[in-house]
Amino acid sequence: MLRTAVEIINQRYPEHIRRFASAQYLASFSYQLAKLPTLPAFAEILTTAGSFKVYHLKAFNLKKGLYAYLLLPQNKSEKEVRIVFRGTNFKDFNSAAINFEPQGPGVASFNAEKNNILNTLKKTIKDYYGSDATAITLDVCGHSQGAALTQLLVSEFVQERNKCNDFDNISTVNMTAFNSPGIPTAIVNLAEQAVLGQWLDDRPLKIQANFGMVGGDAIQLTGENMVFAKLPSFIVKASLLKVKKELEGLWLKAFNLSDGIQPIEIYNCVINFIAALHGAHSSVNYYAPLDVKGKITVDYEYDYFTNDNPETHNKLLKEVLNKAKYIQRLLYVPKIILHYFLAHHDDYRQFSLMGFVRNSFGEQRVTNWYKKMSDWLNPPQKDTEFAPVQPQMVPIELYNEQAICCCPQFSSMKTNQFLCFETEDRANTVAPLLRNSSNLS
């Protein structure tokens, strides 16, 4: 198969750039899929080789606020299964509530759905590849809340594989977590013990654990621990790509302690903190293609660490295990209250917290407050920050396809197009035309 010019350009980048770009492309895509009334049958997704591949799409049937998608390559000879978890949608009460679960973002929700997810994965692999398939690669990724769920799924998967032979057909696991809060240490310990147990039993599982971070992102400081980060490289290959956007420590620059702490300095600290959070917690900081032609774009400097040697492994651990544990303990009770408030927003009983708030302040007023909070957490982008999307970029009237032309509300993204198709034939014929069209800007 002839490679396009874009694929040739993409393949010139180092393998770790292509690896993170591919996972980030899929993580960004999941936000758009969750907005669609119906799920497309096929989509083109960036691969770690820098090229695009057509995948079958399937949504997991999960509780409200939890979104995950399973992708299978159109070519069955390619033994690969990809799963992506969508991050938070703060305009969705159920999705926002998951962030404030007492044990950590997504822990309770995942525990309620883990058997469902693993059974769906097991059945899908058997139906698609057959019961005799071997050497399958499982790729799991997500951003923010989705990254925490990614860690939880991989942790549960390795424990399940250690207990029985149902997943022996999967020999490789690739995990990529972007801007991830930590997960409970108890879960991390069980997962790492399961990996060591399989390694000692001569049932090794090849694992690549990738962490994407942006300097200045406060969400990365939450939670307790990060799975597989401490294991040596001969058991798990771990890597960290930390993007530098000059946002780290931005909030501290508001203070001039020589004259004491002034009210204006506290105000500037809050403003700088919000700016850093919005700029650093975006899921589009990891070089995925910003246009429909699919060219990887490296637009920020970065540091890259692996666990191949003690020096770089120590730097990796210092970054990913840097958690604000004492602040989190102070916020534990408010977090529980906020979780209840969000999870029971439809509860109008007189003695419920939500009912008390609505009765005290009025339903319309409470709704307006929450809308303002969600708009603050999902700020609209200025028009100048996006490249214009021209109708000819995806000629729907010509090809009669369902194509997503979207500008996700992420701070550093200009334009991102994802191609989806309702039929396998269209995916094979239209996608190459769109990727190589001279009319695309």
pLDDT in tens, 297-330: 888 889 999 999 999 999 999 999 988 776 666 6
Do 64 and 200 fall within a single domain?
yes
Mean pLDDT of 102-122: 92
User: Residue 429 belongs to what domain range?
Assistant: 5-245+286-341+379-436
Query: pLDDT confidence of 407, banded at 50, 70, 90?
Result: very low
The answer to whether residue 53 is domain-embedded is yes
Do 31 and 142 fall within a single domain?
yes
Do 60 and 95 fall within a single domain?
yes
Do 161 and 301 fall within a single domain?
yes
Do 374 and 384 fall within a single domain?
no
Do 159 and 205 fall within a single domain?
yes
Residues of the chain with pLDDT > 90, as a percent, come to 42
Q: What is the pLDDT of residue 414?
A: 34
Mean pLDDT of 363-375: 68
Q: What is the pLDDT of residues 45-83, one digit of tens each?
A: 999 999 999 999 999 999 888 999 999 999 999 999 999
Q: What is the pLDDT of residue 364?
A: 67
Q: What is the pLDDT of residue 404?
A: 39
Name 224's Cβ contacts closer than 8 Å, sequence gap at least 6. 104, 182, 183, 184, 185, 188, 323, 325
Per-residue pLDDT for 24 more than 50?
Answer: yes
Do 432 and 353 fall within a single domain?
no
Q: What is the pLDDT of residue 351?
A: 43
Q: Looking at 2-11, 53-62, 344-353, which range is the least confident one?
A: 344-353
- Number of structural domains in the chain: 2
Rounded-to-integer distance, Cα 344 and Cα 353, Å: 8
The answer to whether residue 404 is domain-embedded is yes
Last residue of a domain, one of 331, 358, 378: 378
Q: What is the pLDDT of residue 352?
A: 54
Q: What is the pLDDT of residue 63?
A: 84
- Whole-angstrom CA distances from 427 to 21, 30, 148, 329, 398 are 22, 19, 32, 50, 14
Name 328's Cβ contacts closer than 8 Å, sequence gap at least 6. 222, 223
Query: pLDDT confidence of 107, banded at 50, 70, 90?
Result: very high
Average pLDDT in the chain: 78
Query: pLDDT confidence of 408, banded at 50, 70, 90?
Result: very low
Do 240 and 356 fall within a single domain?
no
Query: pLDDT confidence of 344, banded at 50, 70, 90?
Result: low
Do 369 and 384 fall within a single domain?
no
Do 138 and 173 fall within a single domain?
yes
Token couple for 393: 């970029």
Mean pLDDT of 9-33: 92
Mean pLDDT of 110-131: 95
Kindly give the pairing relationship between strand 420-421 and strand 404-406: unpaired
Q: What is the pLDDT of residues 250-283, one digit of tens each?
A: 666 666 666 667 777 777 777 777 777 777 787 5
The answer to whether residue 205 is domain-embedded is yes
Residue 239 backbone dihedrals phi, psi, to 5 degrees = -145, 155
How many residues would you count in the chain?
441
Residue 288 backbone dihedrals phi, psi, to 5 degrees = -70, 160
For residues 210 and 254, the model is more confident at 210
The answer to whether residue 267 is domain-embedded is no
The answer to whether residue 272 is domain-embedded is no
Per-residue pLDDT for 197 more than 50?
Answer: yes
Residues of the chain with pLDDT > 70, as a percent, come to 69
Query: pLDDT confidence of 348, banded at 50, 70, 90?
Result: very low
Name 69's Cβ contacts closer than 8 Å, sequence gap at least 6. 30, 33, 39, 57, 58, 59, 60, 83, 84, 86
Rounded-to-integer distance, Cα 307 and Cα 60, Å: 33
The answer to whether residue 279 is domain-embedded is no
Rounded-to-integer distance, Cα 308 and Cα 317, Å: 12
Do 194 and 148 fall within a single domain?
yes
Burial class (CB in 10 A: 0-12, 13-18, 19+), 364: exposed
Mean pLDDT of 157-186: 94
Q: Are 176 and 144 in contact (CB under 8 A)?
A: no
The answer to whether residue 104 is domain-embedded is yes
Q: By C-alpha distance, which of 142, 113, 120 is closest to 30? A: 142
Token couple for 195: 């990996």
Q: What is the pLDDT of residue 381?
A: 42
Do 202 and 351 fall within a single domain?
no
Q: Are 215 and 247 in contact (CB under 8 A)?
A: yes
Kindly report the pTM of this predicted structure: 0.79
Q: Are 415 and 384 in contact (CB under 8 A)?
A: no
Per-residue pLDDT for 425 more than 60?
Answer: yes
